[in-house]
Structure 1
Amino acid sequence: MPHVEPARLLELALGNSGSNGDLGALRHIASCDRCRQELSRMTRLVITARSVEEPDLPTAPPERVWQRLTQDLSLAEEPAPPACAEPVRPLAPESTEPRYTRGSTETRVRTVRVALALLSGIVVWWWSRSARRPGRRD
């Protein structure tokens, strides 16, 4: 019997079951170490991704980072300015308190869902790519 498709394994890991193909896939997984291990990996990934909380999400970089990027990009297009005689002063340290200036909880939840979907797609792509390597025995 052929191996279970990565998309099907992902559906099983997400808990989306109920189709007629599940019984055959589950039987194959029970007898195939490779598919069983891959389902286990995907299940651990899903559990980890679902346990992400708001403090785990990346925050926007400070405004000074965007200013520096803009400055560096504009310098690439223009000739270099003359050297500055005035010493460069360090920037004041940013507050360690998280700042939420825009966006609602719904927006953040939607962002997490998109990130999880992207991560799932990468896992499926990687798994299907590794399954096609020449000389690989199943």
Structure 2
Amino acid sequence: MSEHLDTRTLGELVLDRAPWPEADPRLAHVEGCAVCGKELAALRRVARAVRTATAADLPIAPPERVWHAIVHRLADPRA
């Protein structure tokens, strides 16, 4: 296999949704291709971060005064 795997295929591998036997050439490609291997590793890091995220990891909303300032600036044609 000479072409790189697409992101969807790599995502299926990360999410363990790829129903492929171990002899599948796509798996051999990932093992031998630095580009696909790097992309797969990055997707695995993202999946791990999402799976282990807690409420403390989520962003908090800015204070109400920030939204008021944004609305004020957008309404002011001189801003």
Instruction: After the TM superposition, list the runs of 4 or more consecutive aligned residues in structure 1 that deviate by more than 6 angstroms.
Output: none
The higher-RCO structure (CA 8 Å, 6+ apart) is 1
Match of 2:36 in 1: 35
1:13 paired residue number: 14
TM-score by length of 2: 0.76
User: Which TM-score applies when normalising by structure 1?
Assistant: 0.48
Larger radius of gyration: 1
Amino acid across the alignment from 2:38 = Q
For structure 2, the residue ranges without an aligned partner over 5 or more in a row are none
Cα distance in 1 between the residues matched to 2:27 and 2:52: 26
Among the aligned pairs, what percent are the same residue?
33
Number of residues of Structure 1 aligned to a counterpart in Structure 2: 77
The runs of 5 or more residues in structure 1 that have no matched partner are 78-138
The whole-number CA distance in structure 2 between the counterparts of 1:74 and 1:41 is 42
1:59-109 Cα offsets, whole Å, 9 max, x none, are: 2211111111222222227xxxxxxxxxxxxxxxxxxxxxxxxxxxxxxxx
Question: Once superposed, what is the RMSD of the aligned Cα atoms?
Answer: 2.3
Instruction: Report the alpha carbon displacement of residue 57 of structure 1 after superposing the two structures with TM.
Output: 1.0
User: Which residue does the alignment assign to 1:53?
Assistant: 54
Q: Which amino acid aligns with 1:26?
A: L
2:68 is aligned to 67
